[in-house]
Chain A
Amino acid sequence: MNTVQGVVKMHMKDRVSWFYLPWIIVLSSFVVNLFIAGLVTTEDQLVTGGLASIFVYAMVSGIIGVHHTFAFALGLSVRRRDYFSGSMMMIAMTSVGTGLLLTLLSYIEMWSDGWGVDLFFFHLPYITDGNAVQQFIVFTSFLLFMYIFGWGISSLFRRFGKTGLYTMSIVSLLIGTLLVYAFIYWGWWNGVHDFFEGRSAFNLGLLLLPVSVVLSFVGYALLRRSTV
C-alpha cells in the first residue's frame, strides 16, 4: 500500500473526530430545535442557523487534526508530502460525504414541510436556493474551505509556533483595519455590494473552490519546512 493511502487509513482510525462528533453536534442542535418548533404554536416557520455548527466544527477539526497527527505520521517515517496528500484526500472525502448527507436532509426537510413542524434547519433561504447539485456544491465547498482554513492555521502554528500565530493575528488585524478605512475613505463599499448583489450561494461556493486550493498549498508550503 502506498503511503498516501496509509495516511488516509490513519485518519480513518479516528472515526469519532471525522464523522461521529460533527453529526452529534449538528443533530443535537437539530433535536433541540425540533422540540422548540413542536412546542411553539405559531403559524410562522422556524428558520434556524444551527447548521453553522458543522462548519465551525470543520474548522476546529482542521486545526486539531494537524496538531494530533503530523508529529505522529512523521514519527512513522511518513514524508511531509504524503502526509499532506493523504490529509487532503481525507478532508475532501469527508466534505463530499457530509455535503451529500446535508443535501439529502435539505430535501427531506423540504418534502416533509419542515419535519411536519415547520422547522427549517437544513433547507435554508439563500443557501439551498439551487437544485440538488448546486446545494451539494455549496455545502461541500464551504466545508472544504473551513477544514482547509483550520488546517492552514494549524500549519502556521507548526511552522512558526506561537510567535507565528500572534504575528499573523496582529498583521491581519492591522491590514483589516486599514482596509476598512480605505473602503470608507474611497467609498469601495459599492464595489463590495456589487460583487455580492445577485450572486447565488452556488456561485460563491464555486468561487471559494480555487481559494481553498490555494490555501491548502500555503499549508503544504508551511508543513514542508516544519520540524517535529
Chain B
Amino acid sequence: MNAIVEAKRLTKSYGSFTAVNDVSFTIEANKIYGLLGRNGAGKTTIMHLITAQLFASGGELLVFGEEPFENNKVLKQTCFIKESQKYPDTFRVKDVLETAAILFPNWDAGFAERLVADFNLPLKRRVKKLSRGMLSSVGIIIGLASRAPLTIFDEPYLGLDAVARNIFYERLMEDYSEHPRTVILSTHLIDEVSRLLEHVIVIDGGKIMLDEEADSLRGRAYTVSGPVAKIESYMAGKQVIHQESLGGFKSVTLFERLGVTEQKQAEALGLQFAPVTIQQLIVYLTNRGPEQKGVLR
C-alpha cells in the first residue's frame, strides 16, 4: 500500500468553531477518491490543509510522506483546483495557462491546447471577463494538463453545462488511464461522478462518516417497500437511515448488507427491493437529525 496522504487526528478550528474535528484517513496512490459531504462539512478545509494553504490546529498530516508546508518536493507533485481560485486582474487565459506551464513540472502543453479547444475557451480574453462556466474550465484545464501525481478538484465545475461536464469526465478518465495518478474529487453532483470514483470518503460536521471503496459502498444499503405492518416487522433491529410512508405503504432504506437470510425473509413477506445509489445513500446519511447520527456499523 502506497499512501499519498496520511492524516492522523487532523483538526482545524477557528476560534470556537471546529471545521475539521479529529479526522484520520489515508489516500492511496493511483486511485480516484470522492470527498463528499454537505456544504460546510469541512471538505474544502481538508483540501486546503493537504496543500498547506491553511494550517492545521492539531494532528498530523503527511503528503508524499512529508509535511507539506513550504515543501517544494510535496507541492511540485500537487495540483489543487478550487472553485474560489483567484487570478490576477490583468491576466488573460493565455497568461494563466503559460504561468501554469512554467510552474508545473509535468505540464503537457499539447493536452492543454486540446482542452482549450474542447471547452471553446477564448485565450485572449481576460480571466476577469470570463463567465462562471468558462472560469471553471480554466481550472479544469490546469488540473488535467498539470498531470500532478496528486490532483485535487474542489467543486471544479460551477456554472459548467452538462456537455462541458461530460467532456471533463471523459478527458479525466482517458488521461487517468494513460497517466495514472491520485485524484481527489469533491463535488455535489455525486450521481454524475459515482461511476468514476473508486473510493468514497464522506465528511459530515467536520468528522469522517464513511471511508469505503465505492464498489463495497454500492451494496452497503438498500430500500425495501411494502405494507406498513410487514415493513415494521422486517426493519426491527436493523439500522434505518431513511423512511417514508404513503397510505398503508411504507418504504425504508436500511444501512445493511442484503444477506441471503434477509432476502428470504423479505421475499416471504412479499416485500420489494430497490438498490440505493451512492448519492441517495449520502443524502440520507448526511441529512439525519443529530439524535440519529450514531457511529455507522
A residues neighboring B (CB under 8 Å): 1, 3, 5-6, 9-10, 13-14, 16-17, 68-69, 71-72, 74-82, 224-225, 227-228
- Given A75-B80, A77-B79, A81-B70, A13–B86 Cβ distance below 8 Å? no
Q: CB-CB < 8 A to A79: which residues of B?
A: 52, 70-72, 75
Once bound together, how far apart are the Cα atoms of A9 and B52, in whole Å?
23
Q: CB-CB < 8 A to A17: which residues of B?
A: 90
Pair A9/B90 contact, Cβ less than 8 Å: no
Most buried by B among A17, A72, A81: A72
Interface mask (B86-102 → A, CB under 8 Å = 1, otherwise 0) = 11111100010011101
Residue B53 contacts which of A9, A16, A69, A228 (CB distance < 8 angstroms)? A228
Q: Is B85 located at the chain interface by the 8 A CB criterion?
A: yes
Q: CB-CB < 8 A to B86: which residues of A?
A: 68, 71-72, 75, 228
Please report the total number of B residues contacting A with Cβ < 8 Å: 31
25 A-B residue pairs with CB within 8 Å: A3-B72, A3-B76, A6-B102, A9-B102, A13-B98, A13-B99, A14-B90, A14-B91, A68-B89, A68-B90, A72-B99, A74-B53, A75-B80, A75-B86, A76-B99, A76-B100, A76-B103, A76-B142, A77-B51, A77-B75, A77-B103, A79-B52, A81-B70, A82-B72, A228-B48
Residue of A nearest to B55 (CB): A227
Q: CB-CB < 8 A to A78: which residues of B?
A: 75, 103
Pair A77/B148 contact, Cβ less than 8 Å: yes
Q: CB-CB < 8 A to B207: which residues of A?
A: none
Residue of B nearest to A227 (CB): B54
Q: CB-CB < 8 A to B91: which residues of A?
A: 13-14, 72
Pair A80/B103 contact, Cβ less than 8 Å: no
Residue B102 contacts which of A10, A16, A68, A74 (CB distance < 8 angstroms)? A10
- Given A77-B76, A82-B72, A227-B55, A68–B103 Cβ distance below 8 Å? no
Residue of B nearest to A21 (CB): B90
Once bound together, how far apart are the Cα atoms of A76 and B51, in whole Å?
10
Once bound together, how far apart are the Cα atoms of A76 and B79, in whole Å?
7
Tell me the dominant secondary structure on chain A's binding face.
helix
Pair B82/A75 contact, Cβ less than 8 Å: yes
Q: CB-CB < 8 A to B53: which residues of A?
A: 74-75, 227-228
Residue of B nearest to A74 (CB): B53
Once bound together, how far apart are the Cα atoms of A208 and B85, in whole Å?
37
Once bound together, how far apart are the Cα atoms of A13 and B90, in whole Å?
9
Q: CB-CB < 8 A to A227: which residues of B?
A: 48, 53-55
Q: CB-CB < 8 A to B142: which residues of A?
A: 76
Residue of A nearest to B69 (CB): A79
Q: CB-CB < 8 A to B72: which residues of A?
A: 3, 79, 82
Once bound together, how far apart are the Cα atoms of A68 and B78, in whole Å?
22
Q: CB-CB < 8 A to B234: which residues of A?
A: none
Q: CB-CB < 8 A to A76: which residues of B?
A: 99-100, 103-104, 142
Given contacts A76-B142, A77-B75, A78-B103, 16 further A-B contacts (CB under 8 A): A3-B72, A6-B102, A14-B95, A72-B99, A74-B53, A76-B99, A77-B76, A77-B103, A78-B75, A79-B52, A81-B70, A82-B72, A224-B70, A225-B55, A228-B53, A228-B86
Q: CB-CB < 8 A to A68: which residues of B?
A: 86, 88-90
Q: CB-CB < 8 A to A224: which residues of B?
A: 70
Name B27-54 residues within 8 Å CB distance of A.
48, 51-54
Once bound together, how far apart are the Cα atoms of A112 and B180, in whole Å?
67
Closest chain-A Cβ to B87's Cβ sits at a distance in Å of 6
Most buried by A among B75, B95, B98, B142: B75
- Given A3-B72, A74-B53, A227-B54, A13–B95 Cβ distance below 8 Å? yes
Q: CB-CB < 8 A to B76: which residues of A?
A: 3, 77
Pair B87/A72 contact, Cβ less than 8 Å: yes
Once bound together, how far apart are the Cα atoms of A16 and B90, in whole Å?
8
Q: CB-CB < 8 A to B51: which residues of A?
A: 77
Q: CB-CB < 8 A to B148: which residues of A?
A: 77
Closest chain-B Cβ to A60's Cβ sits at a distance in Å of 14
Q: CB-CB < 8 A to A71: which residues of B?
A: 85-86
Once bound together, how far apart are the Cα atoms of A131 and B99, in whole Å?
41
Q: CB-CB < 8 A to A10: which residues of B?
A: 99, 102-103
Closest chain-B Cβ to A110's Cβ sits at a distance in Å of 36
Residue of B nearest to A224 (CB): B70
Q: CB-CB < 8 A to A80: which residues of B?
A: 70
Closest chain-A Cβ to B86's Cβ sits at a distance in Å of 4
Interface mask (B122-134 → A, CB under 8 Å = 1, otherwise 0) = 0000000000000
